[in-house]
Structure 1
């Protein structure tokens, strides 16, 4: 059984050129530092959704190997935290299949004070 992490952002205004560049910087930095080149990493959809307010969406299928799953989740959530901070005013939904991932203004996305 596979588990995936999903992330999406909505807001009335489309991305500005500066925001698109900021998103690209986050994605590029994430991919350069991703620990497992043979696993799926941050994957943004070319078409973020059906509505005009859908500005960004993506998903990551997590590795079946538990020793790899936690580092991948942590790394991708760090990238999604960077994306959220690059897109002010967007409403975000981040979830691990049916489990919502909590947001902390200081720490970003994660599960509790100690991470997971």
Structure 2
């Protein structure tokens, strides 16, 4: 059984040139820093012409190995945090299958224990 993280941002106004450039920068930085070459990472869909208010949408399939899942989830959520801050006033929905990921103005997207090194090590992560 697979688990995926889904994300979408909507706003009536299209992205500015500066916002689009920042989105491209965040995506490129994410790809360059992603810890696993053989794992799906931040993946944005092509823009849907039928949904003009959609700024971006995408998904990431999580690894089945729990030791890898936490670092992958943390990396993608960090990138989504940057993307949300790059697209102000957008309506965001980020969820791990049926679990909504909460937004915190200071920390961004995060889950309890996600960055706990002891938990990551216990699960066999780096």
Distance 1:28 1:52 in 2: 24
* Worse overlay, 77-86 or 48-57: 48-57
Q: Is the 8 A contact 2:8 2:58 kept in 1?
A: yes
Secondary structure at 1:7 match in 2: strand
- The 1:46–1:56 alpha-carbon spacing in structure 2 relative to 1, beyond 3 Å, is same
Q: Segments of 4+ in structure 1 off by > 3 A?
A: none
- Runs of at least 5 residues in structure 1 that lack an aligned partner in the other structure: none
Q: Is the 8 A contact 1:48 1:55 kept in 2?
A: no
Q: How does 1:94-105 map to 2 (within 5 A)?
A: 94-105=94-105
Shift of 1:30: 0.6
- Bigger-Rg structure (1/2): 2
Q: What is the Cα-based RMSD across aligned positions, in Å?
A: 1.3
Matched, 1:64 2:67: no
Number of the residue aligned with 1:53: 53
- Runs of at least 5 residues in structure 2 that lack an aligned partner in the other structure: 116-126
**Number of paired residues?**
115
Q: Is the 8 A contact 2:11 2:90 kept in 1?
A: yes
Secondary structure at 1:85 match in 2: helix
TM norm structure 1: 0.94
TM norm structure 2: 0.87
